[in-house]
């Protein structure tokens, strides 16, 4: 293994390469005209398949265990969809003073999203936390996020948010909820195959997310993303994203302490509470927003996702050494 990967474990995550390639491709060769319609159709079909597979591989028994452990999952649910939504709204107000309205709105969208599954679990394991709790917790939060994130965003975003009307609800139901429900129903027939082909399923996740990001940023590039945001704007966006991530980490760790969670459970709460899922965020943005707007809205999410991967690895290793109390 190259030495740089030993010191910077986050570079081993292929999702970083997928996000960078999708964004760069949209900047150089954005999908426009007829190509945009085809790319949007491909994105929607991919999202349907992704959530169908997610329904197949998240065991019903794990969901049942999550509902049974409300001493942990109740506060985690409130933190992810309550405290983080408020935090996102607060940073949106700060961003509104220096950034375009759609980018500022992206902080509200970011705050309303569920946490990750794969990275929250991986970094909990690296930090020697409660991995089983992390897996079930992140899965349960993601399932809830499919139904909660969109209406929560509409409520928190006010008049600037997407119109979560009947058409949007139908799209969410058909592209996210329906395939997940079908996956749960046929899970027993396919889960063993999915486990046996875990690496292939992981690349399905990354590919679908990459397509959704590409379509979103293509629309933003057509609307002048490169000229609307100056160097100062990008610097301000990065600073605000890093500040929000730092606040989320501190709040999640502090909340776990106030709840009196054992150290292993507290570590699981830290990563499940503070991290945000581009796997749900990018597809949801593709459904809620036209391509011309989606790229601006998900800009904070993409930077946050990259930042959480960069910072989570050294934090997890410090936690494993007992360096954080």
pLDDT digits 0-9 by tens, 44-60? 888 788 778 878 877 78
Is pLDDT larger for residue 65 or for residue 79?
79
Residue with tokens 């910077």, as numbered in its chain: 8
Q: What is the mean pLDDT of residues 35-51?
A: 83
Q: Using CA atoms, how far apart are residues 168 and 177, in angstroms rounded to an integer?
A: 12
| Beta-carbon count within 10 A of 105 CB | 27
Residue with tokens 């709840």, as numbered in its chain: 259
Q: How confident is the model at residue 156 (pLDDT cuts 50, 70, 90)?
A: confident
List the single range of 161-170, 182-191, 208-217, 248-257 with lowest mean pLDDT: 161-170
Is 7 a residue whose pLDDT tops 50?
A: no
Is pLDDT larger for residue 181 or for residue 11?
181
The values of phi and psi at residue 197, to 5°, are -115, 45
Residue with tokens 């319609």, as numbered in its chain: 37
Report the CATH fold assignment for 36-318. Na+/H+ antiporter like fold (1.20.1530)
Average pLDDT, the chain: 82
pLDDT in the model for residue 97: 93
Is 136 a residue whose pLDDT tops 80?
A: no
Q: For residue range 283-304, list pLDDT tens digits in order.
A: 888 888 887 788 888 889 988 9
Q: Using CA atoms, how far apart are residues 249 and 271, in angstroms rounded to an integer?
A: 8
pLDDT in the model for residue 252: 96
Task: Please say whether the beta carbons of 298 and 216 come within 8 A.
Answer: yes
Q: For residue range 268-283, list pLDDT tens digits in order.
A: 899 999 999 887 888 8
Is this model's pTM higher than 0.85 or not? no
């Amino acid at each position: 293994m190259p030495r740089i990967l030993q010191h910077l474990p986050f570079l081993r995550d292929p999702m970083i390469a997928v996000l960078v390639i999708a964004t760069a491709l949209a900047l150089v060769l954005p999908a426009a005209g007829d190509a945009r319609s085809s790319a949007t159709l491909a994105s929607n079909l991919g999202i349907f398949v992704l959530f169908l597979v997610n329904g197949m591989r998240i065991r019903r028994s794990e969901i049942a265990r999550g509902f049974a452990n409300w001493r942990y999952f109740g506060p985690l649910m409130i933190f992810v969809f309550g405290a983080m939504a408020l935090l996102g709204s607060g940073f949106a107000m700060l961003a509104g003073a220096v950034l375009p309205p759609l980018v500022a709105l992206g902080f509200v969208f970011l705050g309303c999203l569920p946490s990750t599954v794969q990275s929250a679990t991986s970094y909990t394991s690296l930090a020697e936390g409660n991995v089983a709790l992390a897996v079930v917790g992140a899965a349960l939060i993601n399932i809830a996020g499919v139904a909660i994130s969109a209406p929560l965003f509409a409520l928190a975003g006010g008049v600037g948010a997407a119109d979560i009307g009947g058409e949007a609800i139908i799209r969410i139901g058909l592209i996210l909820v329906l395939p997940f429900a079908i996956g749960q129903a046929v899970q027993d027939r396919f889960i063993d195959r999915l486990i046996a082909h875990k690496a292939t399923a992981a690349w399905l996740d990354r590919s679908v997310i990459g397509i959704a990001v590409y379509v979103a940023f293509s629309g933003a590039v057509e609307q002048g993303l490169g000229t609307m945001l100056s160097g100062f704007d990008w610097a301000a966006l990065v600073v605000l994203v890093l500040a929000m991530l730092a606040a989320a980490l501190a709040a999640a760790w502090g909340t776990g302490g106030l709840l009196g969670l054992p150290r292993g459970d507290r570590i699981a709460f830290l990563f499940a509470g503070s991290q945000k899922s581009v796997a749900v965020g990018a597809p949801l943005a593709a459904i809620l927003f036209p391509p011309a707007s989606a790229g601006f809205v998900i800009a904070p999410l993409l930077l946050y996702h990259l930042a959480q991967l960069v910072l989570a690895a050294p934090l997890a290793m410090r936690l494993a050494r007992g360096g954080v109390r």
